[in-house]
Structure 1
């Protein structure tokens, strides 16, 4: 297994949509509370093997935060990470940012290079996330600071309870 800095929280997100807003703000807020989070561009180093490092972080984290955005389902990386979080029974905290749970759909265009088994994994993980109580956020009218604070409170509460899903 790849040596990865221990992490409590894995932040799953579509970089082009949410990295410079919700994901990085949340990473910084959690760091202020001494919560070790995994965020690809903040945690990984040049030379790290992408899948090995990400998979190791997911397996060792306690909580997964999935930040869903309008283009989330276009990323096989996002869907792979979500699938791993669900399959490893991590506590999942969904944030629906500018998207409703019912809008999280896989299309043939998104999955043209995936195997039928991968598509089934992705669909199952999305289904699980859609039916998990999460936070909703409208970036045009919402306050990022409030979203980040609320999410951090939820994470801290779950870490303090020694949470694990199911």
Structure 2
């Protein structure tokens, strides 16, 4: 007979340490994480921090999930999967928006990948980033003024789209139309990429296509310039 306690399966010593994202518990964790991200982004974009009041119950549920499920987790499996991947341009946002989102989600108990804090000495950056993108069910793309100057940012964005996972774009101090139609600083960056002639045929067009697709997704606009 099934237990009436929804946490009973996790309390069992033989329980899986990391519930499948397709299981009921996995779906609950994914939903809590997604809702938490939306509340956080709404608060930051509107600068109306009353949204953060909803973080209290979410924080409790997420903490409970993590505390129970990690109890029996073998050390070798503790760094196998992420909940959220943050795609960003370091010089523009690492010390501001990206850092704020990272710290808030970590506080909530969400496993977040933000390159440097999650990479250990000796790690292969390309393989680690690909792994993080593949295992994260939610991607946050912070599109900023110098974003298109980074081929890493563009390649990550392309991989995120190919993964089929949910992407939430954040438009930070940029005009969405500049991203969609490759104008302004984005046009300047792509002119430099094309002038190098070092990328395989179609690669630059793939990056432009990725930006065009993401610009049509529902996102949030941030303007720190007043």
Q: Which residue of 1 aligns with 2:28?
A: none
1:115 partner SS: coil
Looking at secondary structure, tell me which structure has more helix per residue: 2
Q: For residues 126 and 84 of structure 2, what CA distance do their matches in structure 1 show?
A: 17
Cα distance per residue 1:113-152 (max 9 Å; x no partner): 32222112212211111100110011123xxxxxxxxxxx
Whether 1:75 aligns to 2:158 is no
Unaligned runs of 5+ in 2: 1-76
Higher RCO (CA-CA < 8 Å; seq separation 6+): 1
Q: 1:120 aligns with which of 185, 202, 205?
A: 205
The aligned length equals 139
Length-normalised TM-score, structure 2:
0.59
Contact 2:193 2:204 in 1 (8 A): no
Match of 1:103 in 2: 178
Which whole-Å CA distance do the structure 2 matches of 1:53 and 1:80 have between them? 14
More moved, 117-126 vs 23-32: 117-126
Match of 1:47 among 108, 111, 122: 122
Looking at structure 1, the residues matched to 98 and 89 of structure 2 have their Cα atoms a distance apart, in angstroms, of 9
* Divergent runs of 4+, >4 A: none
Uncovered stretches (5+) of structure 1, i.e. residues with no partner: 142-166
Q: Tell whether the 8 Å contact from 1:75 to 1:110 is kept in structure 2 after alignment.
A: no
Radius of gyration: which is bigger?
A: 2
8 A Cα contact 2:141 2:167, kept in partner:
yes
Mapped to 2, the partners of 1:42 and 1:75 lie a distance apart of 19
RMSD across aligned positions (CA): 1.4
SS at match of 2:141: strand
* Offset of residue 110 of structure 1: 3.0
